[in-house]
Amino acid sequence: MAKMWAGVTSGETAAIADDFNSSIRFDSRMAEQDIRGSMAHAMMLAHAGIITQAESEQITDGLAGILEDLKSGALKIDETSEDIHMFVEQVLTGRIGETGKKLHTARSRNDQVALDLRLYLLDESDSILEKTKALISAVTCKAEEYASAIMPGYTHLQRAQPITFGHHLMAYAMMLLRDTDRISECRKRINVSPIGSCALAGTTYATDRRFEAEKLGLSGICLNSADGVSDRDFAVELLSDIAILMMHLSRFAEEIVLWSSWEFGFIALSDLYTTGSSIMPQKKNPDMAELVRGKTGRVYGDLMALLTVLKGLPLAYNKDMQEDKESVFDACDTVKMCLDVFAGMVNGMTAKTGNMRKAAENGFINATDLADYLVGKGLPFRSAYKISGQIVAECMKTGKVLETLGLDEYKAFCPLIEADVFEAIDLDNCVARRKSEGGTSVGSVEAQIAYVKSVLQKAE
């Protein structure tokens, strides 16, 4: 089949070359964005006096009909077309005749595909933001439910200090909130129009690029035509932001895997978000969390693939850039599915607060509070630290914990210790005293929850 770009060449290419060159298998998902862009372009051509108003209306009506038929299924995408841009133009010309051929005046596929990708990623960014906020809301609600549930906090995966489950969960809410900030900032850089850059050098026609951008709801235009068609930093930035978001989900997923194990026993996952074993009837596997953890590597690969495609390209457009879309599409699809699954998994998660408390009681995680108590009695911190360590060592030898050690045993290490030491090392008191902003006391956690809720409310 002869191509619409036939001219200096015959337009006849080998079947294997057609298949290798074709992108319609994946860029067809940008059909709506392509049509929106073309409708704005037709309006601009009439606005600039390049085509008549009647021709512009004929083109936009034809494009609207194509979009309607694609959505209803009355029109099927022809997989033998080279790309979505050529497919739409061919269908339009077939429906309205010669006027359809005027649509491509003062633009190239180079700026057209750059525009389509930007419009598509704006829509995807909005969807990812919405789903991330839904997950933040789920995490925040769960944190509110368990704002006072004591558990061990960890460093190096060793029990460290007493915290609340609500405090731990709010750490992830804060991470995810920053992810929304990053994606929102990135969206501003996506939201500019490359259309009118043409192949790379602009056009001789008296176009109005800002009019066209405005019709598309974009905030401005790319200020250098070669840059407008040749760079995909906006796509790289979004993939980077998605990769960071996936990293946060993966860390959370890892903890869910640990917490739901028999060894930890801190949470129970809903049956709706677990699977069984084909051979071991006792198993309840956290497959959804594990898949999120696994898919994070996939998204990292998408980011690295795009960076690698772009790293050696001279200006301006090169066909290598066709390879940008599948990585971007895959990353967006993956993160959206992971966010949906994660929100459901968190909503259905139940904390085993008794097991959390028991783990907190057996890990000497109030040893820092014992040292602080000794400082309050007048000892330098380093001396207090050493005495506390010696007391912990003695407990480990005798199978006791700090709460069950007798007052006389305490005094053998330091005569300054009085009966009030037991109040100082009580886990509830240890948590309650950490009232510093951002800390683990119930009041502090409730302040964090209120803050996140207010941010989400403002974003609505």
Cα–Cα distance between 269 and 285 in angstroms, integer? 9
Asked whether 156 and 363 are in contact (CB, 8 A), the reply is no
Distance CA 160, CA 283 (A): 30
248 is catalytic: no
Contacts of residue 35, Cβ cutoff 8 Å, sequence gap at least 6? 63, 64, 66, 67, 88
40 cis-preceded (ω within 30 degrees of 0): no
Burial 191-214, CB ≥16 within 10 A → b, else e = bbbbbbbbbbebbeeebebeebbb
Taking the C-alpha atoms of residue 40 and residue 194, their distance in angstroms, rounded to an integer, is 13
- Active-site option among 10, 72, 156, 278: 156
The one catalytic residue in 219, 261, 277, 454 is 277
Contact 236, 303 (CB under 8 A): yes
Question: For residues 306 and 235, is the Cβ–Cβ distance under 8 A?
Answer: yes
Instruction: Verify whether residue 156 is a known catalytic residue.
Output: yes
* Residues with active-site annotation: 156, 277
